[in-house]
Amino acid sequence: MKKVKGFWIYVVLSAVIYGVIQLLINGGILNPFYANTLIFIGINIILAVSLHLVIGITGQFSIGHAGFLAVGAYISAIITMKFQLPFPLALLAGGIVAALAGLLVGIPSLRLKGDYLAIATLGFGEIIRIVFLNIDYVGGASGMQVTHLTTWTYTFICLFITITVITNFTNSRHGRACISVRENEIAADAMGINTTYYKVVAFALGSFFAGIAGGLFAHNFYIIQPGNFGFLKSFDILIFVVLGGLGSLSGSVIAAILLTVVSTFLQDYPETRMIIYSVVLVLVMLYRPQGLMGTREVTDLFGKWKGAKGGNSYGK
Amino acid sequence: MEWIQQLINGISLGSIYALIALGYTMVYGIIKLINFAHGDVFMIGAFVGFYAIAGWGLGFFPALLLAMAVCAVFGVLIERIAYKRLRNATRIAALITAIGVSLLIEYGFIYVRGAQAAAYPDVLANKNYDLFGIQVSSQSLLILVVSIVLMIILHFVVHRTKIGKAMRAVSHDMEAAQLMGINVNTTISATFAIGSALAGAAGVFFGVYYTKIEPLMGVIPGVKAFVAAVLGGIGIIPGAMVGGLVLGVVETIVSALGFSQWRDAAAFIILILILLFRPSGIFGKNAREKV
């Protein structure tokens, strides 16, 4: 009963947040700059949460997430620009193709562990980028023109679906299986959990939502270029998850909001932004390696609707 | 004939990769850390060489030695400031720190100097020798010879000196080495110093060979050198040399076949194939994972 009540509180709260911001945008109180920042925050939250599922919940260290973002961005852009099909369909298709790419990458590489997995995903991310760089159909290095279709409504609906699906997944038996893989893969295997299956499922689901974020991303920026999806972008997403706390969904959401706001204000000083990012990353790792929230959730503070919890023994 | 010429170009490029890969492989061997900042040490080496030659008018060899010395100090500083506290941290925390240090060096350097590229001064008169109908540039020959000399010195240091023995002992079992009275901190610092000095040398070679340097130049060669280290078997010194040379030759062949756009992808495809089919590398022994 308690869980159901918590869910409705969450739905009502989301509707209120959406409604208030939509009213502010319609009423012209939020100028287009702030509206655009909000959309960007939404996209970054989707990315952070999708990577949180892979790194925070399942414990598979992937640093090639921008590759799936790129797949979603290009596929959805092709569907709206070349086939003139509606935007929601493009988002969905971007997500599905990104999930397929995630399967394709995940099945071979998830046999690897730790550092090796990280490097392999980095390699795959770069290969995806180089493939797009060499396809003339999508404009090669000069990129592809995309019309602006992303609105606050689309972003919020996608964000809502992402958070709902990933929270419910985490709290289901599949999510618990993923957490057990994170905590101790050998023990999980011994308990009869098909670890490879759960790793691949989490990876594909994470890629799916990264693909959806890619669709929103592409239709928010007028132009997409392979250069936007290099490993610097992957590191950006990684920083959200690490700073927020590996294993905390609300942590990655908070970090995504915080860092997007900071980087928006530092837009004119890209070097300063990267210096701040990297110093924060190093300091957090040295003095608080579990991140801002650890594995706790914001909801834990209120004592109800507890998120899925794991020990503090992240990684090996 | 043209193929042999391409092969020589590939070997020159490969020896640059090999020099960077040696630092990766030594550091990984000793503290199991993928030192992402290594590519940036390489960049710093290239710039020290650049300022030494263009600013102070030093010759090639003094500039090379200066770059190596500065990089050695720089490498030790990175280790002391950032990595030392992480000896007992999780591997992932160490990896993220390394990424952070790498970004900090890149963008800190851009902040101080600016992002514009610089043209490397023509410090070595480039002559083409005609060997049995093959055109060999004196630059690639010199790079090759100096790299080989450096690798021979490295081999001597690792196998014939006391500090080399300590390095091998620490990489084999850090705790046991400590119990035997080996100063682990000094040994790890020495490893960083040697690896970084080699990366600094590679930076100067890169500048002389490609004549263009910029603050973000270390990223791609750094990752590729890591590929080379994995290819040869990470932690194994001869493996890094062979891996670097193989990677350089493969890249040159891919370019020569007309797929120069795919050159970077070739390295990553090699990496993934190696990781999937022979994760211990060409020279690696198959160590069974302990539970």
How much is the pLDDT for A301?
Answer: 65
How much is the pLDDT for B66?
Answer: 94
How much is the pLDDT for A306?
Answer: 45
3-state secondary structure of A30: coil
Rounded mean pLDDT for each run of 10 residues along chain A, 316 residues in total:
73 86 81 87 94 92 92 93 90 95 89 82 89 85 85 92 93 92 91 92 95 93 87 88 87 91 85 86 85 76 48 37
Question: Is A124 an interface residue toward B (CB < 8 Å)?
Answer: yes
A89: in domain: yes
How much is the pLDDT for A201?
Answer: 93
A222: in domain: yes
**Cβ atoms of residues B42 and B214 within 8 Å:** no
Dihedral sign from CA coordinates of A160, A164, A170, A174: negative
**Cβ atoms of residues B214 and B115 within 8 Å:** yes
Contact state of A285 with B265 under an 8 Å Cβ cutoff: no
Chosen from A127, A189, A280 to mutate, greatest number of chain B CBs within 10 A = A127
pLDDT tens by residue, B171-221: 888 889 999 999 999 999 999 999 999 999 999 999 988 888 999 888 888
Residue linked to tokens 């290095």: A141
Q: End-to-end distance of chain B based on CA atoms, in angstroms?
A: 53
Instruction: Count the helix, strand and coil residues of chain B and give each as a percent rounded to the nearest 5.
Output: 75, 5, 20
Please report the number of interchain residue pairs, chain A to chain B, with beta-carbon separation below 8 angstroms.
116
Is a pLDDT exceeding 80 seen at residue B290? no
A219: in domain: yes
- Strands B118-119 and B128-131: what pairing? unpaired
- Other CB atoms within a 10 A radius of the CB of residue B55 amount to 9
- Burial class of B222 by CB neighbour count within 10 A (0 to 12, 13 to 18, 19+): buried
**Size of chain A, expressed as the number of residues it contains:** 316
pLDDT tens by residue, B67-101: 999 999 999 999 998 888 888 887 778 888 898 99
Alpha helices in chain A (DSSP H): 2-26, 32-51, 65-81, 87-109, 114-133, 152-171, 173-183, 185-190, 195-218, 231-244, 249-265, 270-287
A8: in domain: no
Question: Is B100 an interface residue toward A (CB < 8 Å)?
Answer: yes
Domain span at residue A66 reads: 37-228
Contacts of B285 (CB under 8 A, 6+ apart): none
Q: List the beta bridge partners of residue B137.
A: B128
Chain A residue closest to B36 (CA)? A119
From CA A145, how far away is CA A222, in angstroms rounded?
A: 6
Chain B residue closest to A235 (CA)? B99
A83: in domain: yes
Contact state of B264 with A130 under an 8 Å Cβ cutoff: yes
Q: pTM score, two decimals?
A: 0.87
How much is the pLDDT for A139?
Answer: 80
How much is the pLDDT for A302?
Answer: 61
Contact state of B89 with A275 under an 8 Å Cβ cutoff: no
How much is the pLDDT for B289?
Answer: 45
How much is the pLDDT for B20?
Answer: 93
- Burial class of B160 by CB neighbour count within 10 A (0 to 12, 13 to 18, 19+): exposed
What's the domain count of chain A?
A: 1
Phi, psi angle pair for B99, to nearest 5°: -60, -45
How much is the pLDDT for A315?
Answer: 36
